[in-house]
């Protein structure tokens, strides 16, 4: 039986022969993605060797199609970024996969991932995806990195509702104009929604107030983020956010804003013996 180094050299030769038209990733190419430091144990047969493989590095290999990868059924990490993939297929049998890197391919539609029940991290930036959908079965997903910049992305409400474990989402530079669907992400901790089209009338505070698990939020580069009023309003209304636009929110700052809001609110309410003229005068003084 050929050793791992020999098998890897044969696969590398096969890759080079196919690279002009793109490569089909299957069992013949698998050895090329195995680290050289991962060697076969004395007396170990091929099946046992491949059963121990947990990481495959197939980035930047002009791969255009995913073939049969059942040989490495215990794979946990798969690197496929910077290839020529236009779809996601034949990954359902990798039931132990936890991290999938698909950045900078040509993928247009999300699909073929329903069997990846243990997937925790999914990286898709630099593709051509315009709708985040078909992720309902990925109940362990915790980190979903952003899609193609400067393309408007739509989030399927059913998908957002089902991603109960998602903790990190980067959707910057995607021309989003609302956070309505994202309020269904019940475990979200970190959200980067910077450089979108979120305006002051997009009900940002209303939606963010329902995301009680959210701790870090970036809204820089949105129309709604211009000026200090936006920052003060979010800090005052969304007490669960600890870091806003790259700046930590201190307890002192939050308390001060709450007290200021209470003072302004009280100034607008007449006392039992307060005339309307006095009320207006007090209101003017508080504005100053």
Percent above pLDDT 90 for the chain: 44
Q: Which domain holds residue 264?
A: 250-288
Residue 133 lies in a domain: no
Q: pTM for the whole thing?
A: 0.69
Evaluate whether residue 130 is within a structural domain.
no
pLDDT at 145: 66
Residues composing the chain: 288
**pLDDT score recorded for residue 121:** 92
265 within a domain of the structure (yes/no): yes
Whether 254 is in a domain gets the answer yes
Q: Mean pLDDT across the chain, nearest whole number?
A: 82
User: What pLDDT score was predicted for residue 154?
Assistant: 78
Q: What is the pLDDT of residues 166-222, one digit of tens each?
A: 999 988 887 889 999 899 899 999 999 999 999 877 789 999 999 999 999 999 999
* Domains held by the chain: number: 1
What is the β-pairing status of strands 143-145 and 121-123?
parallel
pLDDT at 233: 83
Look at residue 45 and tell me if it is in a domain: no
- The position carrying tokens 């007396």 is 43
282 has a pLDDT exceeding 70: no
- Whether the pLDDT of residue 41 is over 90: the answer is yes
Q: Within a domain: residue 20? A: no
Give the model's confidence band at 288: pLDDT under 50 very low, under 70 low, under 90 confident, else very high.
Answer: very low
Least confident of 214-218, 222-226, 241-245: 222-226
pLDDT value, residue 59:
97
For residues 199 and 130, what is the distance between their CA atoms, to the nearest angstrom?
Answer: 21
């Amino acid at each position: 039986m050929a050793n791992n180094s020999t098998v890897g050299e044969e696969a590398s030769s096969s890759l080079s022969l196919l690279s002009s038209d793109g490569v089909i990733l299957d069992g013949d190419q698998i050895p090329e993605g195995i680290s050289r430091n991962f060697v076969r144990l004395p007396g170990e047969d091929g099946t046992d060797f491949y059963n121990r493989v947990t990481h495959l590095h197939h980035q930047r290999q002009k791969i255009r199609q995913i073939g049969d990868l059942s040989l490495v059924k215990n794979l946990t990490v798969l690197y496929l970024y910077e290839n020529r993939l236009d779809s996601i297929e034949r990954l359902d049998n990798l039931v132990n996969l936890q991290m999938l890197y698909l950045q900078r391919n040509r993928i247009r539609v999300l699909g073929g991932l329903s069997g990846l029940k243990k997937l925790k991290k999914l990286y898709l930036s630099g593709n051509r995806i315009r709708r985040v959908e078909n992720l309902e079965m990925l109940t362990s997903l915790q980190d979903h990195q952003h899609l193609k910049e400067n393309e408007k992305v739509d989030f399927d409400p059913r998908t957002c509702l089902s991603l109960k474990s998602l903790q990190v989402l980067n959707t910057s530079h995607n021309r989003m104009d609302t956070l309505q669907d994202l309020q269904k992400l019940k475990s979200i901790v970190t959200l980067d929604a910077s450089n979108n089209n979120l305006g002051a009338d997009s009900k940002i505070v209303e939606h963010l107030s329902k995301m009680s698990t959210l701790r870090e939020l970036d809204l820089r580069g949105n129309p709604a983020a211009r000026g200090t009023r936006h920052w003060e309003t979010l800090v005052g209304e969304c007490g669960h956010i600890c870091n806003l636009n790259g700046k930590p929110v201190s307890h002192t700052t939050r308390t001060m804003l709450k007290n200021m809001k209470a003072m302004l609110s009280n100034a607008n309410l007449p006392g039992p013996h307060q005339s309307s003229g006095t009320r207006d005068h007090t209101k003017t003084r508080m504005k100053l």
